[in-house]
Amino acid sequence: MSAPAPPTVTAALLVIGDEILSGRTKDKNIGYVAEYLTAVGIELREVRVVPDVEDEIVAALDALRRRYTYLFTTGGIGPTHDDITADCVAAAFGVEIAEDPRAIAAMLERYRPEELNEARRRMARIPAGADLIENPISKAPGFRIGNVIVMAGVPTIMQAMLDAVAPSLATGAKVRAVTVDARGLPEGVYAAGLGQIAAGCPGVTIGSYPSFSAAGISNQIVVRSKDETALEAAVAAVLALVERLHADRTPV
Amino acid sequence: MSAPAPPTVTAALLVIGDEILSGRTKDKNIGYVAEYLTAVGIELREVRVVPDVEDEIVAALDALRRRYTYLFTTGGIGPTHDDITADCVAAAFGVEIAEDPRAIAAMLERYRPEELNEARRRMARIPAGADLIENPISKAPGFRIGNVIVMAGVPTIMQAMLDAVAPSLATGAKVRAVTVDARGLPEGVYAAGLGQIAAGCPGVTIGSYPSFSAAGISNQIVVRSKDETALEAAVAAVLALVERLHADRTPV
């Protein structure tokens, strides 16, 4: 008997902040979180970006946390009036939110007691029942409640929080990806053959990613699967397709 | 009597593609579309990223197109098997999809007739009733049906399509933004004062965006409004706050 297949672990990412929607700040967290989760065996299935508006944040929290194994959020946990993520999470879970002595203790590693004014103490307000996520950079913690993981929006801090929380997360089978260079072939030349391969390879997803530049077309075909045998068979078929089509186009 | 206020025109962006969720491709369209729409007077209110899965795409199309003035989509309109956006849009609108002679004509500006194989002709499949959006780069068009604007995922092509469609869109009052440098002040020092200003300035949104680097803290305060008078008053108040707090911290 073979070992049981590892479970599929899924996630969504909720990016919170007017500044992303206005274009003022260019998000750097989506791509980082996507790559990180893929590498540890968690499938990112959806991303949403919403403004600093309580009803919007709560609605997105509720929709996403019920649907995926984990929901990660970035943004909105600083000390200013537009930082309302923690309150929205408490509202979504229907729990109280109050100043957390553990968060105050963490912040006292950075701030003198007289520096912990009301605004900074806002960063220590944590929904009841949450576990803190360490912030080695600026000390004000993130937190996890249920399957929701609340992180900062500043990329360096978000990345540190992701490192801190990752060891506690369930993970599934890792998706392995192999990229095949299409050797200058246009998509329209290999699309039919690629579609046939994709249709004949269950458990494998095959994507084609075009890229145009002054130097010409440099398309990439990406084959992804959790099943090593299926992956290798699909990659071999794609390589053979590219080889054949390339030979057809190369004058001999 | 003053002129009536311009209408508020809203939008959502739906990014379609497994490659964004796996982290393989780092999205470059969200920030571009956000900045572009803000500049022309359309408020981007939500972004979603979904995989190349019909049910997910159709559900997101339906949720977002009903809620905002416009829904823009990027990705999934190429010639390969994973390009299913046009079919999903047709399904969402409940209309037929077929090869469009206008799209074929556009593509014949680039391809010889014998090069228009079945895969490439897939790019000419357009939902019934849609208007085409010109693609000056690779010719296969985008399209608009109702309030949904369907664009390519390749950034250069997406940008050209946005330029092509923008003149036909309704726009509202432009939001003007003024950035005030916090002059090295930490957020926790100005948060209380900033919150008071925000509470006293209806029609103005004020955001604080922290940035940490080896050189220290360089936070920015962004004041945004459609109302020039309200904007100027809020900016003056923020500048005065920063000036006062900075003077308090600077030894004389």
Q: What is the DSSP string of A190-251?
A: HHHHHHHHHHT-TTEEEEEE--EETTEE--EEEEEES-HHHHHHHHHHHHHHHHHHHHHHS-
Residues B199, A81: Cα–Cα separation, whole Å: 9
Cβ of A22 within 8 Å of Cβ of B177? The answer is: yes
Tell whether A211 is within 8 A of chain B (Cβ). yes
Comparing alpha-carbon positions, the chain B residue that sits nearest to A210 is B154
**Residues of chain B falling short of pLDDT 70:** 1-6, 251-252
Cβ of B175 within 8 Å of Cβ of A22? The answer is: yes
Cβ of B22 within 8 Å of Cβ of A36? The answer is: no
Q: At what angle are helices B85-93 and B54-65 packed, to 10 degrees?
A: 50
pLDDT at B171: 96
**Residues of chain A falling short of pLDDT 50:** none
CB contacts < 8 A, A to B, total 207
Q: Encode pLDDT of B60-119 as tens digits.
A: 999 999 999 999 999 999 999 999 999 999 999 999 999 999 999 999 999 999 999 999
Contacts of A37 in chain B (CB under 8 A): 23
pLDDT at B216: 78
Of A32, A117, A212, the CB nearest to B192: A117
Domain boundaries, chain B: 10-168, 176-249
Residues A2, B44: Cα–Cα separation, whole Å: 50
pLDDT at A9: 97
Cβ of B49 within 8 Å of Cβ of A26? The answer is: no
The set of residues, in sequence order, having a beta carbon less than 8 Å from that of B232 and lying 6+ positions away, is none
pLDDT at B213: 73
Q: Encode pLDDT of A58-89 as tens digits.
A: 999 999 999 999 999 999 999 999 999 999 99
Which residues 43-102 of A are in CB contact (within 8 Å) with B? 43-52, 56, 78-82
| Tokens 């969200």 sit on residue | B30
pLDDT at B252: 58
Predicted TM-score (pTM) of the model is 0.94
* Residues β-bridged to residue B144: B131, B149
Q: Does domain B10-168 have CATH number 3.40.980.10?
A: yes
pLDDT at A211: 81
Of B24, B80, B208, the CB nearest to A195: B80
A225-234 contact pairs (CB < 8 A, 24+): A225/A175, A225/A176, A226/A172, A226/A173, A226/A174, A226/A175, A226/A176, A227/A203, A228/A176, A230/A201, A230/A202, A230/A203, A230/A204, A231/A176, A231/A178, A231/A204, A233/A201, A234/A197, A234/A201, A234/A204, A234/A206
Tell whether B175 is within 8 A of chain A (Cβ). yes
**Cβ–Cβ < 8 Å for B137, B167:** no
Q: How far is B145 from chain A (nearest CA, A)?
A: 23
Q: Which two tokens stand for residue B184?
A: 């090295």
DSSP assignment letter at B79:
S
Backbone φ, ψ for residue B56 (5° rounding): -70, -40
Which residues 101-160 of B are in CB contact (within 8 Å) with A? 111, 115, 117-120, 122-123, 137-138, 154, 156-157
Interface test with A, best of B52, B64, B209, B211 (most A CBs within 10 A): B209
* Residues β-bridged to residue B125: B99
pLDDT at B186: 92
Q: How far is A80 from chain B (nearest CA, A)?
A: 5
Q: How far is B195 from chain A (nearest CA, A)?
A: 5
Of A27, A80, A177, the CB nearest to B22: A177
Residues A33, A72: Cα–Cα separation, whole Å: 9
- How many C-alpha atoms does B184 have within 13 Å on its Cβ side? 8
Tell whether B31 is within 8 A of chain A (Cβ). yes
How far from the centroid of its chain's Cα atoms is residue B1's Cα? 35
Of A21, A80, A119, the CB nearest to B34: A21
Q: At what angle are helices A228-249 and A187-199 packed, to 10 degrees?
A: 150
**Which fold, A176-249?**
Alpha-Beta Plaits (3.30.70)
